[in-house]
Amino acid sequence: MSIALKQVFNKDKTFRPKRKFEPGTQRFELHKRAQASLNSGVDLKAAVQLPSGEDQNDWVAVHVVDFFNRINLIYGTICEFCTEQTCPVMSGGPKYEYRWQDDLKYKKPTALPAPQYMNLLMDWIEVQINNEDIFPTCVGVPFPKNFLQICKKILCRLFRVFVHVYIHHFDRVIVMGAEAHVNTCYKHFYYFVTEMNLIDRKELEPLMCSQRKIQMAASLKYP
């Protein structure tokens, strides 16, 4: 592994602190199982399938937190190049612009520079995944009825980070020698959200349209 690629995994580069699972919990065991599957080189399409007998909400919760950590790390490696000057609008090329709305300060969709959008996004996700009423950590505490809807919104917004990095900062990823890691992370994310039906296909269009430009790994086929 190159020195540059090692920097991708450097905890000091993480955009936000990592959320971890408590040892001894069911979610911790699911997380270990998911990581073991990935590390064993198993086909990613198989790795994202819900294990027999496991709860769907637990499986989704594990992956949402894991993707938050991974995407955090990826954006953290390029965030110094994502400024209000280089990225005055949060976008994925000229055709796609993402506006922020949180029903608090920004009650209507608002155009923001990419780094400001990213900060608000990561803050918002942290609040969701650290909320015990949404992501319960105690055994026996049920997930809320709208849990999957919340996760769909989180994953949809995390996907926009991939879009922005690929379209506007992939040159930096290549310079760092980290494109294989980022591509694998994206493929893992893509296969999971499509397997579990957690993102509208229309949201995936920006990267499907830009597949040649970003030179996605040849094994990634869109149905």
Does 31 show up as a binding residue in the annotation?
no
Please, which residues have CB within 8 angstroms of residue 81's CB and are 6 or more apart in sequence? Answer: 169, 172
Does 82 show up as a binding residue in the annotation?
yes
Helix axes 56-78, 179-195, angle to 10 degrees: 150
Strand-pairing partners, residue 91, are 97
With helix as H, strand as E and coil as C, how does 147-189 read?
Answer: HHHHHHHHHHHHHHHHHHHHHHHHHHHHHCCCHHHHHHHHHHH
Does 87 show up as a binding residue in the annotation?
yes
Give the C-alpha separation, 193 to 70, whole Å.
15
Does 169 show up as a binding residue in the annotation?
yes
User: Do 189 and 159 meet the contact criterion of CB atoms below 8 Å apart?
Assistant: yes
Residue whose entry in the numeric block shows the structure tokens 């229309």? 202
H/E element holding 59? Answer: helix 56-78
Which residues sit in the known binding site for Zn(2+)?
A: 82, 87, 164, 169
